[in-house]
Chains A and B, each alone.
Chain A
Amino acid sequence: MKHLSDEELYAMCQIPKGGLASHLRECEECSARFHEFAALLESAAREAARTPPPAPDLSGRVWAAIHPSLPVYGAETRGRRRSAVFTAWWPRRRAWAGAFATLALIAAAFWAGRLFEQRQTKTNLASQGASQPGRVVLLVVREHLDRSERLLVELDHAGHLGRMERGPLVQEAADLLEDNRLYRQTAMATQDPALSEVLDRLDRVLVEVAHEPATFQGGDLARLREQMNLDGLLFELRVVRDRHNKNEKETRL
Chain B
Amino acid sequence: MESTDRECVEAILSGDRDAYRDLVFRYTGSVFRAARRITGNDADAEEVVQDTFLRGYLQIRTFELRADFGTWIYRIGVNCSIDLLRKRKRQPEAKDDVLPQAVDSAASPERLLLSVELEWKRRSAMARLTEVEAAAFSLRHMEDRPMDEIADLLAISLGAAKQAVFRAVQKLRREMAPLRVKQ
Chain A contact residues, CB within 8 Å of chain B: 6-7, 10, 35-37, 39-41, 43-48, 50-55, 58-63, 65-67, 69-75, 77-78, 80-81, 84-85, 88
B80 within 8 A of A: no
Which of B42, B45, B60, B144 meets A48, CB within 8 Å?
Answer: B144
B149 within 8 A of A: no
Give how many A-B residue pairs fall within 8 Å (CB-CB). Answer: 128
In the complex, the answer to whether A36 meets B33 with C-beta atoms within 8 Å is no
Chain B contact residues, CB within 8 Å of chain A: 12-15, 17, 20-21, 24-25, 28-29, 32-33, 36-37, 42, 45-46, 49-50, 53-54, 57-58, 60-62, 64, 100-101, 103, 118-119, 122-123, 137-138, 141-144, 166, 169-170, 172-173, 176-177, 180, 183
In the complex, the answer to whether B141 meets A44 with C-beta atoms within 8 Å is yes
In the complex, the answer to whether A6 meets B37 with C-beta atoms within 8 Å is no
User: In the assembly, what is the distance between CA of A72 and CA of B13, in Å?
Assistant: 8
A63 in contact with B24 given A48-B37, A48-B141, A50-B101 (CB within 8 Å):
yes
In the complex, the answer to whether B142 meets A45 with C-beta atoms within 8 Å is yes
Residues on the B chain within 8 Å of A51, using CB: 33, 36-37, 142
User: In the assembly, what is the distance between CA of A69 and CA of B64, in Å?
Assistant: 23
In the complex, the answer to whether B37 meets A78 with C-beta atoms within 8 Å is no
The 10 A-B pairs with the shortest beta carbon distances in the complex, nearest first, are: A48-B142, A54-B32, A44-B141, A59-B28, A59-B25, A74-B15, A66-B54, A70-B17, A62-B50, A36-B173
Residues on the B chain within 8 Å of A61, using CB: 46, 50
Residues on the B chain within 8 Å of A41, using CB: 141, 169
In the complex, the answer to whether A63 meets B122 with C-beta atoms within 8 Å is no
A40 in contact with B15 given A52-B36, A59-B24, A59-B28 (CB within 8 Å):
no
